[in-house]
Amino acid sequence: MTPACVEDFRRLAARRLPRFLFDYIDGGSYAEATMRRNVADFERLELRQRVLRDVSRIDLGTQILGRHAALPLALAPIGLAGLYARRGEVQAARAAEAAGVPFILSASACCGIEEVASNVGAPLIFQLYMIKDRGFMEAMLDRARAAGVETLVMTVDLIIHSPRYRDMRSSLTGDQGIGARLKRAFEILRHPDWAWDVGVRGRPHVLGNFAAAMPDGAGLAQFTAWVSRNFDPSISWDDLAWIKDRWKGRLVLKGILDPEDARHAVDVGADGIVVSNHGGRQLDGAPSTIAALPAVVDAVQGRLEVLMDGGVRSGIDILRALALGAQGVLIGRAWAFALGARGGAGVTRMLDMLRQELLVAMALTGHSNIAAVGRDALILGDRP
């Protein structure tokens, strides 16, 4: 199948990846209501079609996270991407660089920050969690600086893991006895292309950024145990001062849904926020990010950069997010599906598809540049 949209990449990834990996990408927490809402609430936003406007020259360029971007998007931090394709984070970072968009490396990536940075020319953006082991945090910040990172994205909505039923059913989490191991082994045998490309040629299968903290191994089981010991539910806004004392680059907070929290982000001196519900993987029952976006934008009044993620599946969705005040979007599952389906070439193809879709949406709503897109691009009525 030749993929024509993000959903096509999703179907291809479902065929190529072992079930436990596909479900890890595709699933959300509990009943997945918020995850579904992320997509559905985009779909119900109607665009205002405009005609007889000169759209012969459309400029999609903008500024995202301190650098020029050819499109108003960045690749969101995705954990374990090195298990979707061989050295997956490197492949995705190269695709993003070629497309002229930022790449955000997850702290829980398979490829360490040094490996990814040595394979691209553009400065990396690095995502990190607030954890109890502050010595490790300081060391990680030092590694980020040494690798040329200019912007740090702190994920603030993962202080505790929310249950994900699909991961339990696929044996990725939960009981890890002989039955679970045999179930995963069977899935690997059923996907020989993946087993050769990633299972054999994609080694080492470790979480490179955390390897130093886990001398007995940095695989998924060790990482899960380490996370349960070190993710810190006691963190508060005061802890961000500790980060700002040690990080002099740009600081972005990812996981903001509430206007009051957005105002707090302004008060602590953050340079930007990402309106995010973790892709529906944390608090099931929370609002969709596109529904939460307008109130957050109104609360910060332009005092910091506002990005959003969650549910973005097309260039039309990107336009909808811009219309409601986002300066750009992060895409997560979209590039994970593309990587899992076709490697770095898939990510390149997916980004080009989004570019073409956004161009068409801009033209048919009468817009020639990103800065001109506002709420009048939508038919809102009584809707958010």
- Tell me the DSSP string of 335-355: HHHHHHHHHHHHHHHHHHHHH
Distance CA 39, CA 283 (A): 16
Cα 173 to chain centroid, rounded: 21
The answer for residues whose C-beta is within 8 angstroms of residue 253's C-beta and 6 or more apart is: 153, 154, 156, 240, 265, 270, 272, 273, 274
pLDDT at 212: 78
Report helix, strand or coil for 68.
Answer: strand
Q: Residue for token digits 């972005």? A: 252
367 in active site: no
Please tell me what DSSP assigns to residue 177.
S
Q: Give the separation between CA 149 and CA 75, rounded to whole angstroms.
A: 15
What is the pLDDT at residue 28? 95
DSSP assignment string, 228-268: HHHB-TT--TTHHHHHHHH--SEEEEEEE-SHHHHHHHHHT
- Beta bridge partners of residue 275, listed in sequence order: 256, 308
What Rg do the C-alpha atoms of the chain give, in angstroms? 20
Binned average pLDDT, 10 residues per bin, the chain of 384 residues? 95 96 95 97 97 96 95 97 97 98 96 96 92 89 96 93 86 78 86 94 88 67 69 88 94 98 97 97 96 98 97 98 98 98 98 98 97 94 54
Please give the Cα distance from 345 to 342 (Å, whole number). 6
Q: Which listed CATH number (3.90.1720.10, 3.30.1280.10, 3.30.300.30, 3.20.20.70) goes with 6-371?
A: 3.20.20.70
Domain boundaries, the chain: 6-371
Instruction: State how far the Cα of 220 lies from the Cα of 102, in Å rounded to an integer.
Output: 27
> Which of 19, 21, 18, 16 lies closest to 1, judged by CA?
16
> 3-state DSSP call for residue 103?
strand
Residue 384 is predicted with a pLDDT of 46
* Active-site residue identified among 68, 161, 205, 278: 278
pTM value is 0.95
Q: Which residues pair with 103 in a beta bridge?
A: 75
Q: Which two tokens stand for residue 135?
A: 């010595």
Give the integer Cα–Cα distance in Å for 217 and 140: 18
Cα 347 to Cα 16, 332, 341, 365: the distances in Å are 15, 11, 9, 27
What sections of the chain are H helices per DSSP? Answer: 6-16, 19-26, 33-43, 88-99, 113-117, 134-146, 165-169, 178-189, 192-194, 220-230, 239-246, 259-267, 289-300, 315-323, 333-364
